[in-house]
Amino acid sequence: MATKLTGRVVHPDDPDYSEARTNLNLYRSKFPGVIVFCQDEMDVLNALKYAREKDIPFRVRSGRHSYQNFSILNKGLVIDISEMTKVSVNVNRNTSDIEAGADLGHVYQSLWKYGRALPGGTEYSVGLAGLTLGGGIGYLSRIFGLTCDNLLGVRIVIPKGEDSAQVVEATRWKNRELFWACCGGGGGNFGIVTQFKFRVHPIDTVSIYRMEWDFDQLEKAYDAWQNWAPFTDEKLTSSIELHAKSQNLIFSEGQYVGSKEELKKLLKPLVKETDPRKIQIATVPFNKAFDYFNYPAGNEPAYFKRSGSFIYEPIPERGIQIMKKFLENTPNENASIWQQSLAGKVQSVSPTETAFYHRNALIAQEYNTTWNKGEDAKDFVEWVVALRKHMSPYTKGDYVNWPDLSIRDWPTSYYGENFDRLRKVKTRIDPMNVFNFKQSIPPFWR
Ligand SMILES: Cc1cc2nc3c(=O)[nH]c(=O)nc-3n(C[C@H](O)[C@H](O)[C@H](O)COP(=O)(O)OP(=O)(O)OC[C@H]3O[C@@H](n4cnc5c(N)ncnc54)[C@H](O)[C@@H]3O)c2cc1C
């Protein structure tokens, strides 16, 4: 008997279609033929079977944050798991089972009730699924590793035979290669994750800081930050954002798992070498800290072009001048360059131990633009593409969670020497390339 879609099904003529189809990035938005909001694993299984039996193109979606809208398509089926959000915690074992549709805000709040934390990203509406499968960088990375470094297992719906589907578990001991691929190989490539098991960390209070400089301090502030942030105590993870000149704002923020006094000491080199116009330091319960790093604007749908890369060595004076030039000539005042420190625990795992390859990078960085309806997207896209190109001598590799269709050598850029192994996993799990989109991992015969 033919499989039917089960769960909450939304069609284009339904009143909630517009909300149901809208992803975070409004630039090049898409119009699917049907969206199924799965309520449990059986709905996911049925959705994949349905798509395969009918030979309908489909995409998998969770938090809707894909920069390139890889989680949505025109005409086909969107298998959305964002209504599967249960979180349970085992405090004795420090583990948590989390349904894969949960977003970061829900995960952080749920774990905090038990005094536990999972290292993840900042904005609340980012989906745990996409974030984890591509790596997961955030303000606890240097002390607890990437989100995927804390992954213990997944339940995942994968293709079976000619036109069916099955649920499998993957852990370090079972379906090991698939598990390896789920730790940084990128979302949407192998199957639909329905549940994660994570190691979680006891946490209580943390200390956070914010430091600000005028734009004319850019060279000094940036150089001091980049030579300090990846090398300081690994309990401290920080970021710096260089804004368009018209904003006259450069700021650094960070989170230290320890006291305010210790943090003050750690910040000394940064303060001594620069001339911050403002410094704020506070010790707060951990829930206040993740609330602080969640910028509400980042959760609202917007028109944007973002791209990123990794930095393996401090950027020399020439590269810093290029960043400055671009920030003096932005298409509007919202353009910025944002960077976060890595190393610490991220570097304690080898580049091939998980599918997340860029273990030895010191910094992850993004070039950001946002614009309003009616403004010409071309100006913003060109600014990002040109900045990428000019900075390429000083950067190496890209983060699969910040995908960019303008990256031509994306297999090497995202995955380095892990790409071949990922293709082997793909060939075994999804030989017919059922899960495919621009920049998805191809099986060997594609
Ligand atoms: C405002 C904003 C803030 C961000 N902050 C951070 C940050 O702090 N740290 C960081 O590391 N990254 C960050 N990111 C990047 C983020 O990690 C990626 O965009 C990630 O892919 C988002 O996942 P999602 O589930 O929200 O998105 P979606 O668009 O739903 O999915 C992203 C990809 O994962 C696939 N996918 C989704 N659900 C599943 C599933 N259940 N099984 C298999 N594949 C699935 C999709 O098919 C798609 O290819 C941010 C992005 C934005 C837009």
Percentage of residues in the chain having pLDDT higher than 90: 97
Q: Is 308 in the pocket of ligand 1 (CB under 6 A)?
A: no
Q: Distance between CA atoms of 93 and 89, rounded to whole angstroms?
A: 9
Pick the CATH number of 205-394 from 3.40.30.10, 3.40.462.20, 3.90.1300.10, 3.60.15.30: 3.40.462.20
Query: What burial class does residue 269 get, using C-beta atoms within 10 Å of its C-beta: 0-12 exposed, 13-18 middle, 19+ buried?
Result: middle
Instruction: Name the nearest CA neighbour of 353 among 221, 203, 234, 177.
Output: 177
Shortest-distance atom of ligand 1 to CA 67? 19
Span from the CA of 276 to the centroid of ligand 1 (angstroms): 34
Q: Distance between CA atoms of 44 and 54, rounded to whole angstroms?
A: 15
Q: Residue 122's pLDDT is what?
A: 95
Angle between helices 377-391 and 317-328 (to 10 degrees): 170
Query: What burial class does residue 162 get, using C-beta atoms within 10 Å of its C-beta: 0-12 exposed, 13-18 middle, 19+ buried?
Result: exposed
Query: What burial class does residue 261 get, using C-beta atoms within 10 Å of its C-beta: 0-12 exposed, 13-18 middle, 19+ buried?
Result: exposed
Domain boundaries, the chain: 8-80, 87-202+417-429, 205-394
Fold of 8-80: 3.30.43
Q: Residue 298's pLDDT is what?
A: 85
pLDDT tens, position by position, 321-368:
999 999 999 999 999 999 999 999 999 999 999 999 999 999 999 999
Give residue 100's identity as a one-letter amino acid code: A
Q: Residue 165's pLDDT is what?
A: 98
- Strand (E) or helix (H) holding 406: none
Q: Is 355 in the pocket of ligand 1 (CB under 6 A)?
A: no
Q: Residue 1's pLDDT is what?
A: 84
Measure CA 116 to chain center.
21
The segments of the chain whose pLDDT lies below 70 read 446
Q: What would the two tokens of residue 194 be?
A: 């329905």
Instruction: Name the nearest CA neighbour of 196 among 70, 110, 138.
Output: 110
Ligand 1, residues 62, 103, 305: which to mutate, most atoms within 8 A of Cβ?
62
Q: In CATH, what class is 87-202+417-429?
A: alpha beta
The overall pTM is greater than 0.95: yes
Q: Residue 446's pLDDT is what?
A: 61
Q: Is 61 in the pocket of ligand 1 (CB under 6 A)?
A: yes
pLDDT tens, position by position, 124-145:
999 999 999 999 999 999 999 9
Nearest CA to ligand 1 atom 28: 64
